[in-house]
């Protein structure tokens, strides 16, 4: 028959394998985490599909992972009785990277091992990490519900090709056998494997089993055969009480669901009771996922209903601007077997989304408060950097929040941090700004520009410097949209200093004196203004005597309701 064939890996897979082996060689043990994580995902999927089709269990609903070590053959086998794969699924999932953003991903690799390991982890090398320790990998699988004749055998030495064959397989699920490389001997030691399982998989909600060591025989008795042991704790972490969970357990769980190599920046674990009951275990990553700015992100928050995994959603469970949040929401208030569409429209889901949004904003407020407090006497460096780190990675997402989430606009606006004429770093909050306003000032002044340098050197700033008025310097692309949605903060108007008539009379210590001088200047300049107006003709709307400048002779100003020149520039770039 023609069921046996040899296929070539997609080019990207070959590249990825090479890269991985070179950048992760000191981190080999993660192969076990990745393969267990896949087995756990497969069990999740089966349990979910079986909620509407019990026959998929084929009489065996004891979902688990079994790990077998064979020292003679130098193999490790990881076997699950999860959903399994059809032949087409094997071709699609094992041997190709069918993911958008692959190019960008390769472009971002730096050659720095630690940095690349982080990126690779996020990208989800997953299955391929088997080749960190194995020079040959054999996988057999059968998808739940398919005939026994539709099993699949896949084998590869990780060198560009793989073999594929249709086989007879009684049990459903997937078994992966790793033929260990010589330098991976350490993993033949059961104790070593057990300690890795504890480290990475205690929180996995399915038992991970291994053969124990045989007990020594008592006198006159026969040696007892070794028993099968469950190695991990196997309870869903979020269902346990906070006081029983160590930081390490929280962090390891994050790495599992967040597909990250690093610890998270912060977590939030709460059981909420009220009209709807649900549990949140949410995390803020330390670094932005590589696809944060791509239209279709791969990962988000996972929804569980009564501890059964339902779906991973990037936008249904939290608003889009919080798409960097990872974690789990579990509720008793949704039916298990309904479609995604119905879920999306359910009031329970809506309430959870609102509640989770509130809690995430609350966590950010706490972090921002801590950072603010530690500015003063008792420097708490950790707290101080947490919010700053968060802002550096995800600040622009929060700006989207101001635009997107009118209901929480005020709260989000308080979390914004900007550069200003007092700080190049984006560390000035609008409240800080208001607290520093000079006498008579009731407006928050800002300027938008292409870069921080351009903003800092704008001639519009001259008069503000002279009067000692702070100006917020906006230089991110999104800031134009931000300011068009954020007109007010704490009862104070936000105003661009490059737009409209700028009335600074009455502000600052020498206000009266300056006002007088201004009136004199306007009078004296009348003939000049007339001449310039005639010379420029239609090119400008109006020529005015200004207090804006102290050194430059003239500057261009947009009308209050016109586009700013920065916005014009952005639109031109976009081809509008
Ligand atoms: P990821 O888990 O991030 O999707 P992996 O490389 O780890 O990436 O796995 C790729 C895909 O292969 C999975 O999404 C899944 O569809 C399939 N897969 C891997 N291992 C298993 C398994 N044990 N059972 C069923 N499907 C699996
Ligand atoms: Mg995986």
The tokens 């100003």 sit on which residue? 557
Residue ranges of the annotated binding site are 34, 38, 80, 85, 100-101, 122-127, 174, 340
Per-residue pLDDT of the chain (576 residues; tens, 9 = 90+): 558 999 998 877 787 788 777 777 777 888 998 899 899 999 999 998 998 899 999 999 999 999 999 999 999 999 999 999 999 999 988 877 655 566 667 777 777 766 776 666 666 567 888 999 999 999 999 999 999 999 999 999 988 899 999 999 999 999 999 999 999 999 999 999 999 998 888 878 899 999 987 777 778 887 778 899 999 988 889 999 999 999 999 998 998 888 888 899 999 999 999 889 999 999 999 988 777 877 777 778 999 888 888 888 878 899 999 999 999 999 988 877 667 777 778 888 999 999 999 999 999 999 999 887 765 444 444 445 799 999 999 999 999 999 999 999 999 999 999 999 999 999 999 999 999 999 889 999 999 999 999 999 998 998 899 889 999 999 998 999 999 999 999 999 999 998 877 777 778 777 777 778 878 888 888 888 888 888 888 888 888 777 667 677 777 777 766 667 777 776 676 665
> How far apart (Å, rounded) are the C-alpha atoms in residues 555 and 550?
11
Binding site for ATP: which residues? Answer: 34, 38, 80, 85, 100-101, 122-127, 174, 340
Residue with the smallest CA separation from ligand 1 atom 14 is 93
Query: Which of the ligands is closest to the CA of residue 39?
Result: 1
| pLDDT 10s digits, 101-158 | 666 677 777 777 667 766 666 665 678 889 999 999 999 999 999 999 999 999 999 8
8 Å CB contact between 489 and 430: yes
Continuous H helices in 423-461: 430-435, 452-456
The per-residue pLDDT for 57 is 96
User: CA–CA distance from 490 to each of 142, 413, 432, 447, 541 (Å)?
Assistant: 61, 10, 12, 19, 34
3-class DSSP state for residue 414? helix
The encoded tokens of residue 157 equal 């030495």
Question: Is ligand 1 within 6 A of the CB of residue 38?
Answer: yes
Q: Distance, CA 368 to ligand 1 centroid (Å)?
A: 38
How far is ligand 2, taken at its centre, from the CA of residue 128, in Å? 9
- Distance (Å) from CA 299 to ligand 1 centroid: 14
Among 553, 466, 545, 552, residue whose Cα is nearest residue 511: 466
Say what the pTM is. 0.74
**Residue 214: how many CA atoms within 13 Å on its side-chain side?**
7
CB neighbours of 457 closer than 8 A, spacing ≥ 6? none
Q: Using the mean position of ligand 1's atoms as its centre, give its distance from the Cα of residue 113 in Å.
A: 25
Q: How far apart are CA 357 and CA 405, in angstroms?
A: 10
Mutate to test the pocket of ligand 1, among 35, 93, 154, 177 (most ligand atoms within 8 A of CB): 93
CA–centroid distance, residue 25 to ligand 1 (Å): 22
Ligand nearest to the CA of 131: 1
Per DSSP, the three-state class of 395 is: helix
Determine which residue's CA is closest to atom 21 belonging to ligand 1.
38
Q: Are 65 and 80 in contact, with CB atoms under 8 Å apart?
A: yes
ipTM of the complex, rounded to two decimals: 0.99
Other Cβ atoms closer than 10 A to 136: 17
| Residue closest by Cα to atom 7 of ligand 1 | 126
- Residue 348 corresponds to which tokens in the numbers above? 């329970």
Sequence-ordered list of residues with C-beta below 8 angstroms from that of 37, at least 6 positions apart, any chain: 126, 201, 204, 256
CA of 257 to the centre of ligand 2 (A): 10
What residue's CA is closest to ligand 1, atom 5? 126
| Sheet arrangement for strand 301-305 | 266-272, 278-284, 326-331, 301-305, 308-313
């Amino acid at each position: 028959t023609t069921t046996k064939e040899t296929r070539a890996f997609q080019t990207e897979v070959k590249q990825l394998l090479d890269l991985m082996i070179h950048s992760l060689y000191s981190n080999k043990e993660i192969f076990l985490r990745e393969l267990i994580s896949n087995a756990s995902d497969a069990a999740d999927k089966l349990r979910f599909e079986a909620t509407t089709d019990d026959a998929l269990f084929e009489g065996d609903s004891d979902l688990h992972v079994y790990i077998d070590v064979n020292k003679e053959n130098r193999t490790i086998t990881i076997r699950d009785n999860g959903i399994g794969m059809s032949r087409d699924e094997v071709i699609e999932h094992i041997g190709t990277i069918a993911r958008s953003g692959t190019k960008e991903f390769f472009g971002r690799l730096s050659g720095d091992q630690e940095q690349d390991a982080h990126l690779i982890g996020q990208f989800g090398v997953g299955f391929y990490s088997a080749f960190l320790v194995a020079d040959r990998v054999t996988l057999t699988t059968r998808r739940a519900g398919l005939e026994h004749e539709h099993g699949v055998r896949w084998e590869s030495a990780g060198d560009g090709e793989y073999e594929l064959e249709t086989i007879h397989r009684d049990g459903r699920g997937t078994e992966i056998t790793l033929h260990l490389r010589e330098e991976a001997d350490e993993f033949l030691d059961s104790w070593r494997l057990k300690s890795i399982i504890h480290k990475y998989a205690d929180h996995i909600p399915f038992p991970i089993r291994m053969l124990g060591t045989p007990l020594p025989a008592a006198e006159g008795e026969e040696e007892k055969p070794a028993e099968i042991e469950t190695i991990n704790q196997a309870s869903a972490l979020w269902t346990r009480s906070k006081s029983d969970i160590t930081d390490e357990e929280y962090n390891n769980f994050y790495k599992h669901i967040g597909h990250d190599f690093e610890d998270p920046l912060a977590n939030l674990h709460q059981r909420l009771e009220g009209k709807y009951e649900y549990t949140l275990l949410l995390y803020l990553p330390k670094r932005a996922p590589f696809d944060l700015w791509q239209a279709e992100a791969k990962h988000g928050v996972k929804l569980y209903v009564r501890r059964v995994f339902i779906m991973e959603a990037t936008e249904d469970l939290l608003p889009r601007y919080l798409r960097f949040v990872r974690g789990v929401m579990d509720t008793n208030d949704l039916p298990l077997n309904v479609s995604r569409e119905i879920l999306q429209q359910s009031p329970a889901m809506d309430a959870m989304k609102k509640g989770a949004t509130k809690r995430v904003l609350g966590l950010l407020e706490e972090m921002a408060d801590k950072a603010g407090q530690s500015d003063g006497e008792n420097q708490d460096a950790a707290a101080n950097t947490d919010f700053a780190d968060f802002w550096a990675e995800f600040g622009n997402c929060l700006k989207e929040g101001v635009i997107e989430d009118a209901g929480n606009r005020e709260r989000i606006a308080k979390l914004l941090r900007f550069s200003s004429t007092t700080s190049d770093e984006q560390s000035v909050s609008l409240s800080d700004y208001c607290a520093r306003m000079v006498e008579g000032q009731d407006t928050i002044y800002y300027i938008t520009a292409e870069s921080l340098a351009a903003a800092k050197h704008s001639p519009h700033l001259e008069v503000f410097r002279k009067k000692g008025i702070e100006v917020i310097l906006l230089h991110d692309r999104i800031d134009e949209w931000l300011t068009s949605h954020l007109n007010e903060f704490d009862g104070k108007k936000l105003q661009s200093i490059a737009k409209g008539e700028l009335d600074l009379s009455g502000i600052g210590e020498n206000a009266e004196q300056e006002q007088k001088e201004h009136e004199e200047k306007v009078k004296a300049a009348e003939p000049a203004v007339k001449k310039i107006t005639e010379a420029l003709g239609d090119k400008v709307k109006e020529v005015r005597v200004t207090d804006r400048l102290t050194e430059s002779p003239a500057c261009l100003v947009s009308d209050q309701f016109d586009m700013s020149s920065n916005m014009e520039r952005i639109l031109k770039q976009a081809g509008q």
